[in-house]
Structure 1
Amino acid sequence: MKHLGLITLLAILLFGCNAQNTSKNQNINKPSEQPNIVWIVTEDISPTLSFYGDYTAKTPNLDALAKESMIYDNAFAVVGVCAPTRSSIITGMYPTSIGTMHMRTGNDVMSWGKREYQNKEETGRLDLNNEPIPQYSAVIPPHVKCYTEYLRAAGYYCTNNQKTDYQFAAPITAWDENNPKAHWRNTPIGKPFFSVFNINTTHESQLWKNNDLPLTVNPEDVTVPPYLPDNLETRKTIARHYSNVELMDAEVGEFINQLKADGLYENTIIFFYSDHGGPLPRQKREIYDSGLKVPFMVKHPNGNKGRTDELISFVDLAPTMLSLAGIKAPKHLEGQAFLGIYKHNKQRDYVFASSDRFDEFTDRIRAIRTKDFLYLKNDYPEKPKYKDVGYRKNISMMPKFLELKTEGELNKTQEIWFNTKTVEELYDVSKDPHNLNNLAQKSEYNAVLKEMRLQLKDQQEVSPDLGKMFEAEVVETMWPKNEQPITSPVKISQRNQLIHLTNQTDGSSIAYLFSDNPDIKFDYDLNWQLYTSPISNTATHKYLYVVAERIGFKTSDMLKINLKN
C-alpha cells in the first residue's frame, strides 16, 4: 500500500487514539449580550458588482447594503467550487486537512442530506491512481465539529435555509432548523439567532435553466474576459449571468425588508458573499482569481464602514462567527477571526487554496495568494489546464467554444486554458488580474518565486495535506473494511434527578427531545436539542428520546426513556 505514512496519519485524525465522549462543547463563554447574525449567501459570483466597479448588473439592494458595510477587496474561497469550500466554512478547517477536498463525495447537498451510503454506487469517477471512486460521506477527524454546535451550546438558535453541501450529511446537532422553511422568525423568545439563507439564482446551472427567462442585460453591453472568445454565444451567456445577478439582488432585498419589518435590521450583523468565483468557463473550478476571489461584505451595527484590502479566507469564517458571538474558538481551527472580541492581532500574509478532483476529472494543484501575487504548484504538470467536465458542457456557449478550439480559431490568450501545465505558475495580480501571464520562468521574479515556495512549504508543514493520498485510499481509511461506520447507541444513566447521556463513539455528539408521544418515528426535523450537560428530570413530559451522530457515520439507533417509571 502506497502512502502508508499518510494513511496512518489519516487514521489517527479520523478516529483518534482513544474512544471518548466529546458531546460537551468546550471554550464556551456566553456573553451578556449576543448579537443576531444573518448570512445571505449567493453562488458562483466573482467581484463583478457595482461596489467593485462593475456596473453591468443593476443591484440597488446590494448597493444600499454596501453603503452600510465593510467591503472586503481580498476575500477568497479555499477551492473554486462549492462542496469542498462549504466543508471548510462549516468546520473552520482546510478541506485538505480533513479529507473533503474532492468535488463531490456524495449527494448530501440540501438540508439533512442522504446520510447513508452502500459504497457500491458507480460514479464514473477515478482517482489519480485510476481507482474507481464510489459515492461516500466524508469521515472527518473526531475533534472537528460544525461550528454551529458551539453557537447552539452558547444559546444561539441556528437556522439554515437550506443548502449544506458539506461533503458529509449535516449532523442533527448542527442546526435547530435545516430546511426550506428555516427562518429567524421561528427563534424562541429570548434567544439570539444565527440564520443562513442560500440563494441559488446565480449558480452555474442557472445559465441554462434560466434560458427561457428574458435577459435584463443586453449582450452588447457586457465585457468579455480575454480568455473567452468574443461571439454572440459568449455574450448571451454572460448577459444571462448578469441577468441572474439582478434576480438575486431582488432576493437579497426581500431578506433585508423582512429584517426591517421585524425591527431587526439596525441591530443585526449581516454577511453577504458568494461561495466561490464566477460560473463561466475558466472561472468555476479554477484555482485562479476567477475561481477563488469573491464579493464579500459585512454590515455590523457597531463596526466600521468602507472597504479594506485585508486578506481573508473562507477558513476564517468559523472562528470569526464564534468571535462575534463571544466564544473563544477551539485551538484546532485553522482559520483566524477577522472580527469580534477574539479578532486576530495580525492580518494574513497569504491565503491558501487547493484543487483536486472535480466530478470525473482528478488533478492536484496548490496555491498561495498574497495581496500582490498568485503562486500555483502543479503536481501533475503533464495534465492540461482544461478539464472536460460534463456538467459544464450544459452552458450554452461551451459547444461553440470547443468547436473553435477544434478548428484552431482561438487566439493565443484563449488557447492558454487548453495548454499543458507547467510545474509552477506565478502571476502579478495587479498588472494581470486575469492571471494569464506566467512569470515563473522570468529571472527578475526569482526572489518572489522563492518566497512563495516557502509560504507553501510553511502551510503544508502546519497543516496535513490528505490530497497527497489517492482518494480510494482515503475512502478505505474513512470506511474500514469498505463499510460506512455506525455511531454507537447513547448510554443513559440517572442520578439525583439528573439524566446523564454518554456515547462511546469518538467524536460523536448527542441530541435529545422531550415528548408525550410514546411512538415517535425518527425525523431530523423534530425539535432536537444539543446535549451539553446533564438534563434535569422534572417529569413534565412522559418520554425522552435520544440519538447520537458522528460526522460521516450512520446515525445511532434512537432510544426512548420513560420518565414516569
Structure 2
Amino acid sequence: MYFMWHPKHILISWIFLAGCNWSSTDTSKKQPVDGTQSVIWLVCEDQSLFLPIYGDSTALMPNLCSLADDGTIYDKFFAVAPVCAPSRSSIITGVQPALMGTQHMRAFQANKVGLNQHTGLPFYSAPAPPGTRSFTEYLREAGVFCTNNSKEDYNFETPPLAWDESSSDAHWRERSDGQPFFSVFNFNVTHESQIWKRQETSCQISHDSVPVPLLIPRENAVRKDIAVNYCNLEELDRQIGKVIDELKEDGLYESTTVVFFSGHGGPFPRFKRSPTDAGLRVPLVIKWGHVKDVPSRNAGLFSFLDLAPSVLRWFNVQREISLSGMPILPDSRGHEAVYASTDRLDEHLNRRRTIRTTNWRLIRNDFQDRPAGINIAYRKQMNTMKVIDSLAQDGIEPWISWKSKPLSKWELYNSSEDEWELENLHLNPLFADTLVYLQNLLFHAFPPGQDLGNFDEKKLIESFKQKVASEELTLPTLTQKGRSFIISHENPNVSIGWRTKREDAWNVASRGAEINIAEGITEVEVLVTRIGWKSKTQVLNIIN
C-alpha cells in the first residue's frame, strides 16, 4: 500500500528529515583552504559513454583524452535522475531530489511567469530541508572565488549567495590575485535539442559508419542522428580545449583539479528519461591538481550526491553538516549502491525508483498502467523518435511494446552481463534472494513518508506554501563595533549575506565573525535567504 497524502504526513516527513539526514552547526571562523587551490568543472549535457576513453573511438576527442591521460577515469558514475533539472538540484545541494521536493521535470524555470504549461500549476521552488543550501556557499565563506558559466537550472530559484558570478562571462580570471577558485563551465552543444538543431552542421563523421546501440532502431534517419551526436561531441572537445588552454596560459593547469562529467545519460529515446544505465551512467574524468601518482581508472560506484562533498573535501572546507554522499578521491572504493528516480517528465508522470550495485539494477515502477515509452512532446522533434513512433504504429517489436506495454512492478537486470539491461530477471527464481535484498535497500533509500514523489503535486505545492508562510524569514541582527559589524540570526537554517553599494555580488556572512567596513562606506545592505523562501534585504546605515 502506498503512503496516502495528508498535510500532517508531509509535516512529519520534514521533521524526520531534519532529525535524521541533515544538521547544521554555525561557525564563526573561516576554515583554511589548504588542500587544492583551484577546481574546474567541465559539464556537458546528455551524454552516455560515447567517448574514446570508454572504448568508442567514433568521435575524435584529443583534449578529453589528454585530460584523462593526466588523471583518473571513473567507470561507474551515475546521475540521480535521467533529466537535467532534478539531477542538477542534487549537484548543487548534495540531496536526493525526491527527498527535497525537486523531483519533477520541471518545477521551476527562471524568468517564467504564469502557469507551467505541462501541469497548469504554478512554477515553484521547493523549500529546502533544514541545513540544506548550495555547497558553494561554504566555499565562498571560506574565501574561494566561485563562478558558474552559465547554466543553472537547479529546479529552484538560484540562491543569491551561491556564486560570485553566474553568467556567460563568468571566469576564474575575475578573482583577486592568488585567490583560490571553483569555476564551472557548462556546455550545451551536446544537449538533446542539438540533435535536430545541428543536422546541417558540417562534420567528417559519416552516418554509414556509426555504431548503433541496441536500444534504438538501425534505420538511416537514426544513424544520421547518431552521427550528429558524435559531431557534437567533437565540437564539445574543441570547447573544452579552449578552457584547458586558458588554464595553461595562466600557469594553472598542473595545480588545478579539472573534472569532466555529463548531466545525465544520452540524448536519445530509451536513454534520456530512462532510469537505467543508458539514462543514468555518465562519464567522469578527474585530473588531480593536488594528488600525484593516481590510478588511471577507478571501478567504484559513485553518484552525483558525491560531487558536493568531494569539492568541499578537496578544498579542505569543513562544515558540521551531514550529506549522504562521500568525497571522491583517486583510490576511493565507492558505495555499495547508488540510487535514482523519475517522477513527472514534462507533461507525464511516471514514478520510478531504482538502485544500482556493482552488478545489479532493480527498478520499481509505481504505475503499472503506463509504458516505459511515454509520449513526451519535446522529443518528438528528433528523427529517432519519429522512427520509433512509426515502427510502433506498424506493430514492430520491441518498439510497440516500449510504447504501449504496461510496465511490470519490478525490473531486475544483471547489469554486469546485460549491458543494455534488456532481460528482466525479476521472475527468475534463481535471483529471488537478490531481488528481496535490493527491494529492501531501495525501500530504505526512498521511505514512503519521506519520498515527496508520493504526494500529489498540487497538494505538495500547497504544503510548501504553508511551510514557507509558517516559517517566514526574518531579517538578521546587525551589531556595530566601530568600523566593523557582526551579523547574527536566530535561525540556523538561513544563509546571511551582505554587500556595499560598490559591490554587485553578495558576500557570505559567517555568524559571529566581525566584518570590517572601509572608510567612506555609509551603508551596508544585508540579506537573509533560504532555498524555497523569498529572500529579504535591508539597507543599514553605518554610524561613524
Aligned-partner residue type, residue 67 of structure 1: D
Deviations 1:348-382 (A, max 9, x none): 11101111111111121111101111101111122
CA RMSD of aligned residues (A): 2.6
- For 1:384, give the aligned amino acid: P
On the 8 A contact 1:6/1:466 being kept in 2, the answer is no
Shift of 1:170: 1.4
Equivalents in 1 of 2:101, 2:519: separation in Å?
A: 44
Gap change, CA 1:60 and 1:153, over 3 Å in 2: same
SS of 1:363's equivalent in the other structure is strand
Distance 1:213 1:10 in 2: 50
For residue 5 of structure 2, the aligned residue among 2, 5, 25 is 2
CA contact (8 A) 1:489 1:547 kept: yes
User: How far off its partner does 1:25 sit?
Assistant: 5.4
Where does residue 527 of structure 1 map in the other structure? 505
Decide whether aligned partners of structure 1 residues 438 and 375 sit closer, same or farther in structure 2, where only a CA change above 3 A counts. same
Provide the rounded CA distance (Å) in 2 between the counterparts of 1:72 and 1:347: 10
Q: Indicate which of 258, 275, 279 corresponds to 1:291.
A: 279
Aligned 8 A contact 2:468 2:532 in 1:
no
- 2:373 match: secondary structure: coil
2:381 counterpart letter in structure 1: N
Q: Distance in 1 between matches of 2:29 and 2:132?
A: 14
Gaps of at least 5 residues in structure 1 are 109-113, 126-131, 517-524
The whole-number CA distance in structure 2 between the counterparts of 1:27 and 1:83 is 34
Unaligned runs of 5+ in 2: none
Residue 140 of structure 1: CA displacement? 1.1
Q: 1:469 aligns with which of 455, 458, 464?
A: 455
Residues 490-513 of structure 1, C-alpha deviation per residue, up to 9 Å, x if partnerless? Answer: 433324553222346663212212
Moved more, 137-146 or 254-263: 137-146
The match for 1:336 among 326, 333, 336 is: 326
Q: Tell me the residue number matched to 1:162.
A: 150
The alpha-carbon deviation at position 233 of structure 1 amounts to: 1.0
Whether 2:544 is the aligned partner of 1:544: answer no
Counterpart CA distance in 2 for 1:399 and 1:449 is 36
- Name whichever of 93-102 and 391-400 sits farther off: 391-400
Give the distance between the partners of 1:169 and 1:57, measured in 2 at CA.
Answer: 36
Taking the aligned partners of 2:64 and 2:154, their CA distance within structure 1 comes to: 27
Q: 1:387 to 1:61 in 2, by over 3 A?
A: same
Does 2:403 align with 1:401? Answer: no
> C-alpha offsets along residues 102-147 of structure 1, whole Å, 9 cap, x if unaligned?
1111213xxxxx4xx87x524232xxxxxx5321122111310100
Matched with 1:562 is 541
**Alpha-carbon offset, residue 27 of structure 1:** 9.3
The corresponding residue for 1:124 is 118
Tell me the residue number matched to 1:478.
464
- 1:488 corresponds in structure 2 to 474
State the alpha-carbon separation in 2 of the partners of residues 462 and 405 from structure 1: 35
In 2: Cα distance, 1:501 partner to 1:29 partner = 18
CA distance in 2, matches of 1:251, 1:75: 23
Instruction: Specify the code of the residue in structure 2 equivalent to 1:541.
Output: I
Measure the CA separation in 2 of the matches of 1:266 and 1:481.
48
Distance in 1 separating the partners of 2:468 and 2:324: 30
Counterpart position of 1:246: 234
Query: Is residue 406 of structure 2 the alignment partner of residue 433 of structure 1?
Result: no
Matches within 5 A, 1:139-150: 139-150=127-138
**Which position in structure 1 is the counterpart of 2:217?**
229
| Secondary structure in structure 2 of the residue aligned to 1:512 | strand
C-alpha separation between the residues in 2 aligned to 1:328 and 1:122? 39
Secondary structure of 2:254 counterpart: helix
Q: TM-score, normalised by structure 2?
A: 0.92
Distance 2:147 2:25 in 1: 20
Residues 1:453 and 1:381: Cα distance change in structure 2 (over 3 Å)? same
Match among 39, 59, 80 for residue 37 of structure 1: 39
Distance 1:352 1:219, change over 3 A: same
Residue among 315, 337, 343 paired with 1:325: 315
Q: Does 1:269 align with 2:263?
A: no
In 2 relative to 1, CA 122–164 (structure 1 residues): closer, same or farther, beyond 3 Å? closer
1:35 CA drift (Å)? 2.2
Matched, 1:514 2:500: yes
Question: Is 1:282 matched with 2:270?
Answer: yes
My pick for the range that moved more, 383-392 or 327-336, is 327-336
Offset at residue 24 of structure 1 (A): 4.7
Shift of 1:540: 4.1
Query: Cα offset for 1:397?
Result: 2.5
Deviation, 1:212, is 2.8
Alpha carbons of structure 1 residues 481 and 494: separation in structure 2 relative to 1, 3 Å: closer
Residues 1:32 and 1:69: Cα distance change in structure 2 (over 3 Å) = closer
Residue 361 of structure 2 corresponds to which residue in structure 1?
A: 374
Question: Hey, what does 2:194 align to over in structure 1?
Answer: 206
Q: SS at 1:362's partner residue? A: strand
Relative to 1, partners in 2 of residues 1:563 and 1:5: Cα closer, same or farther, differing over 3 Å? closer
Q: Could you say what secondary structure the match of 2:208 adopts?
A: helix
In structure 2, how many angstroms separate the alpha carbons of the residues matched to 1:418 and 1:216?
38
Which of 362, 366, 371 aligns to 1:384? It is: 371
Q: Which moved more, 1:329-338 or 1:247-256?
A: 329-338
Shift of 1:332: 2.5
What TM-score, normalized by structure 1, do the two folds share?
A: 0.88
Structure 1 counterpart of 2:354, which letter?
Answer: A
For residues 23 and 285 of structure 1, what CA distance do their matches in structure 2 show?
37
Distance 2:478 2:128 in 1: 26
Shift of 1:384: 1.0
Q: What's the CA shift for 1:417?
A: 5.3
| Partner residue, 1:364 | 351
Is the Cα–Cα contact under 8 Å of residues 25 and 492 in structure 2 kept in the other structure? no
Q: How many correspondences in the alignment?
A: 533
Matching of residue 87 in structure 1 with residue 74 in structure 2:
no
CA distance in 2, matches of 1:236, 1:55: 17
